[in-house]
């Protein structure tokens, strides 16, 4: 086990979630102390059980927009704002909770960061670009977002989270970083996550038809979670407070991704088409030249390798249930 971050303490909001759980484990395995916060609205107790196997992990069951635990005696070096639900199935189910965690919750985390003189990272999203009119998306693009559409509770909440992060940086000199996460997949995703990769993999494993919305010509870029975590760390340890895209720039149409998954898993599934949801982005691909120019980050896990690792997780999950 590396001791790269020995003596450092990371507070990770949303630690029971898919991406935050992997981030927490990344730092725990490198000698850091990690304090995790989560209210299990979308996270799992299984993830906290995995993290609790590390002696340097502390967990508080906490809804961060209602307040933070008493951390007055803690030395905290990094605060990572990773608590927001991010799946389409959550946008209609818990829209107000999504907006509150990204507004009130983010503010409380920034206040803590200011008090502790720590470094803050806001995990924003490619959804701030909306249905983009430029392709691939660069950090200087301001986006094309429907501010009252069915996805707006997440899109606009994350745009607010970026704005308040930069406001604390400018007004109080808080040491902040912002990442914009593009489509990510991997082990420990929720089976009913609602995003394309777990949907397709689970349908393929059951030999059920893969559900493609619209004609399937819309595109996405899929980043394996291990690559995303390395990108998050690269941005956190950089010196630039302005936003960075983090993801894998390889681009696939949805219909091609479905065909690749069927073939890769040896599935007997067919493909069916359903109506395209409102405001579904037509193209989504990150330009990561800012990140690769400022750091040594390069995606390392191929789509084929990542699919097999993710499918193995879901296959084992189905065997346990």
* Sequence ranges of the domains in the chain: 9-182+225-248+286-300
Question: What pTM value is reported for the model?
Answer: 0.95
Q: Kindly report, residue by residue over 33-76, the tens digit of the pLDDT.
A: 999 999 999 999 999 999 999 999 999 999 999 999 999 999 99
Which of 65, 78, 154, 168 is catalytic? The answer is: 154
What is the CB-side half-sphere exposure of residue 262 using CA atoms within 13 A?
17
Nearest 10 degrees: Cα torsion 120, 123, 127, 129? 40
C-alpha span between 80 and 98 (Å, rounded):
17
- pLDDT mean over 274-284: 83
Q: pLDDT tens across 10-26, in order? A: 999 999 999 999 999 99
If pLDDT is split at 50, 70 and 90, which confidence band does 192 have?
confident
- Rounded distance, CA 299 to CA 229, Å? 10
Segment 108-124, tens digit of pLDDT? 999 999 999 999 999 99
Q: Which two tokens stand for residue 66?
A: 């209602």
pLDDT in tens, 284-312: 899 999 999 999 999 999 999 999 999 99
In Å, how far are 58, 190, 210, 321 from 49, measured between CA atoms? 11, 16, 32, 18
Beta bridge partners of 57: 34
Residue 135 has pLDDT above 80, yes or no: yes
- Written as six digits, the tokens of 5 are 């971050």
Number of Cβ within 10 Å of residue 280's Cβ equals 15
State the alpha helices, DSSP H only, in 173-224.
196-205
The DSSP bridge partners found for residue 33 are: 9
Does 154 participate in catalysis according to the annotation? yes
pLDDT range class, residue 320, cuts 50, 70, 90: low
Task: Identify the CA nearest to 251 among candidates 108, 103, 136.
Answer: 136
Q: How far, CA to CA in Å, does 63 sit from each of 72, 105, 109, 161, 232? A: 18, 8, 12, 17, 23
What pLDDT, on a 0 to 100 scale, did the predictor assign at position 195? 87
Question: Can you spell out the DSSP letters for 257-284?
Answer: HHHHHHHHTT----EEEEPPPTT--S--
How crowded is the C-beta side of 277, counted as CA atoms within 13 Å? 15
Q: Which CATH architecture has domain 9-182+225-248+286-300?
A: 3-Layer(aba) Sandwich (3.40)
Average pLDDT over residues 158-166: 98
Using a 10 angstrom Cβ sphere, with 0-12 exposed, 13-18 middle and 19 or more buried, the burial of residue 71 is middle
pLDDT in tens, 198-232: 999 999 999 999 999 999 999 999 999 999 999 99
Average pLDDT, whole number, for the chain? 95
């Amino acid at each position: 086990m590396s001791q790269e971050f020995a003596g450092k303490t990371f507070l990770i909001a949303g630690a029971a979630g898919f991406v935050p759980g992997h981030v927490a484990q990344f730092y725990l395995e490198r000698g850091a102390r990690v304090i995790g916060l989560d209210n299990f609205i979308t996270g799992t107790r299984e993830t906290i059980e995995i993290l609790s196997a590390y002696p340097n992990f502390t967990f508080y069951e906490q809804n961060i927009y209602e307040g933070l635990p008493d951390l007055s005696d803690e030395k905290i070096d990094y605060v990572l704002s990773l608590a927001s639900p991010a799946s389409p199935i959550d946008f209609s189910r818990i829209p107000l909770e999504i907006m509150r965690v990204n507004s009130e919750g983010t503010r409380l985390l920034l206040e803590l960061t200011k008090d502790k003189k720590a470094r803050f990272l806001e995990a924003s999203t490619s959804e701030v670009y909306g249905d983009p009119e430029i392709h691939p998306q660069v950090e200087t693009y301001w986006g094309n977002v429907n501010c009252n559409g069915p996805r707006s509770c997440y899109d606009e909440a994350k745009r607010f989270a970026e704005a308040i992060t930069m406001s604390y940086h400018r007004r109080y000199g808080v040491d902040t970083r912002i990442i914009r996460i593009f489509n990510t997949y991997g082990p420990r995703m929720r089976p009913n996550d609602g995003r394309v990769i777990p949907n397709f993999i689970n349908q393929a494993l059951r030999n059920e038809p893969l559900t493609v919305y619209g004609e399937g010509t819309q595109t996405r870029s899929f980043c394996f979670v291990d690559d995303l975590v390395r990108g998050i760390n690269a941005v956190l340890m950089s010196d630039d407070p302005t936003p960075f895209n983090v993801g894998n720039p390889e681009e696939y149409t949805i219909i091609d991704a479905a065909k690749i998954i069927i073939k890769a898993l040896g599935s007997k599934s067919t493909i069916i088409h359903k109506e395209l949801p409102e405001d579904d982005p037509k193209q989504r691909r990150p330009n990561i030249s800012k990140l690769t120019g400022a750091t040594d980050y390069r995606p390392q896990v191929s789509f084929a390798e990542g699919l097999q690792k993710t499918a193995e997780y879901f296959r084992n999950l189905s065997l346990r249930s």
